[in-house]
């Protein structure tokens, strides 16, 4: 009888050890897709059709919670873009009667590491809720702009 108890106990402990993995048997783990810096201007002009004079962009989209059968709801996407304006658009931006305020001191903390090296000195950047509302109104992403008026560069950070 004692031999049977030891065998049953050992089998039970083996089953418990297999339960240490919190994912259900056969469930696939969500894999984070690789994030790449993109330079396709059309994607940005489609998202922000009110912004004229775009000459150069660098953007990325990151899935913050890839589809996972254990998590409810759709994936959340974050979109970040660095948008360089041509000279005419830069002058128009400088002359805009928008309520610009100095950017929050920690605004660069949210910038993705792939975009960070492309951003000029952080001290010359401004933000405007009115500008963000006006130019973000047609985008599928909710977010805001931080702007370098001197260089004519817009940084957008938003999500679905």
Cα–Cα nearest to 67, from 36, 29, 26 = 29
pTM for the full predicted model: 0.73
Q: How confident is the model at residue 101 (pLDDT cuts 50, 70, 90)?
A: very high
Q: From CA 39, how far away is CA 13, in angstroms rounded?
A: 55
Grouping H, G, I as helix, E, B as strand and the rest as coil, residue 148 is strand
Q: What is the pLDDT of residues 3-21, one digit of tens each?
A: 444 433 333 333 334 444 4
Q: What is the pLDDT of residues 111-159, one digit of tens each?
A: 999 999 888 766 689 999 888 888 776 667 788 899 998 899 999 998 8
């Amino acid at each position: 009888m004692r031999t049977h108890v030891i065998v049953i106990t050992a089998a039970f402990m083996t089953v418990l050890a297999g339960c240490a993995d919190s994912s259900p048997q056969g469930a696939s783990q969500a894999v984070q897709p690789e994030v790449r810096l993109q330079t396709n201007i059309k994607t940005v002009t489609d998202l922000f059709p009110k912004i004229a004079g775009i000459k150069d962009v660098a953007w990325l989209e990151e899935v913050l919670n890839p589809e996972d059968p254990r998590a409810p709801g759709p994936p959340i996407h974050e979109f970040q873009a660095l948008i360089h304006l041509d000279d005419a658009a830069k002058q128009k931006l400088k002359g805009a009667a928008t309520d610009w305020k100095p950017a929050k001191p920690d605004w660069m903390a949210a910038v993705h590491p792939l975009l960070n090296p492309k951003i000029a000195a952080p001290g010359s950047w401004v933000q405007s809720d009115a500008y963000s509302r006006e130019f973000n109104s047609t985008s599928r992403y909710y977010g805001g702009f931080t702007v370098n008026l001197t260089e004519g560069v817009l940084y957008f950070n938003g999500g679905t």
